[in-house]
Amino acid sequence: MNVLEKTNLRNLYDLWETIGRDNHLFQTELGFQYVYATKGQWPNRFWQPIGTSINSKNLHQMIANLQREERHMVLPLVQNDPLLSVLKKQNIPELFQQTAMIRAANKTELKGADLEIVIVRTKEEVLEFAQVASLAFGYSIDPDVASVLLGSNTTLLVQGKRKGQVVATGLLHATENTAGIHMVGVHPDFRRQGLAKKMMVHLLNLASNQGVDWITLQASDMAVGLYEQLGFKKQCTMHNYRIGPNGKHSAF
């Protein structure tokens, strides 16, 4: 990985670690770091710390541990990672792919905005955020896990409202000279109305106001085109595998 690819992934991993540490859920095992929430399904990830190399034996053992303990977690691996071949040999199917993307931080004009942006500051707003994000992404987000980010110096939870109703979500997480955009979702009842783009532009402006040099994200296949319109460039492919008990590696 080059420097900017590491910058992207470092922001993502730091977000998960922040959530885990503040909830006393962050752990290390066999060289991996992970966050596992017993309530909800977010973030429930394990990953290789940047700059480390984990051997196949440790991955086999980690998979066995998760299966024995009946825990489901998602493992992201960057293209060409040697551990990808280990998962293929075990016939563990890929859950989804993402594209790591980056752009320079500068303000973006938003024309005809009809989306009210609210920085989440109360537990009631966290509950609204978690409810809409759960519907948008199709997995359960525990508001108690998300609530630890209230008052954070590095992280903002953001609501997008239309006529007083929360219709979109987003999250900003800062690391060094980088702001990562995460969890951009739209309530299923309000899709195909351009809200994702409007939410993104607001998030870009919020990120630029933080004085960072770079803005990063990890895009689904469907969202790559939108993010390219907003000035993001592709970096690398991320392969995500869900490891589960008794060989159950299906989607959430």
Residue 1 pLDDT? 86
d(CA 249, CA 15): 24
d(CA 31, CA 29): 5
Name 12's Cβ contacts closer than 8 Å, sequence gap at least 6. Answer: 180, 182, 216, 218
Q: For the chain, give every residue range classified as CATH 3.40.630.30.
A: 104-233
DSSP strand pairing (178-186 vs 214-219): parallel
Tokens of 196: 């994702």
> Do 172 and 181 contact (CB within 8 A), yes or no?
yes
Residue 249 pLDDT? 43
Residue 245 pLDDT? 78
d(CA 127, CA 175): 26
Which DSSP string do the residues of 132-163 spell out, in sequence order?
A: HHHHHHTS---HHHHGGGTT-SSEEEEEEEET
**Bridge partners (DSSP) listed for residue 98:** 238
| Superfamily classification of domain 104-233 | Gcn5-related N-acetyltransferase (GNAT) (3.40.630.30)
In the predicted model, residues of the chain with pLDDT beneath 50 are 112, 247, 249-252
Give the tens place of pLDDT for each residue, 157-178: 999 999 999 999 999 999 999 9
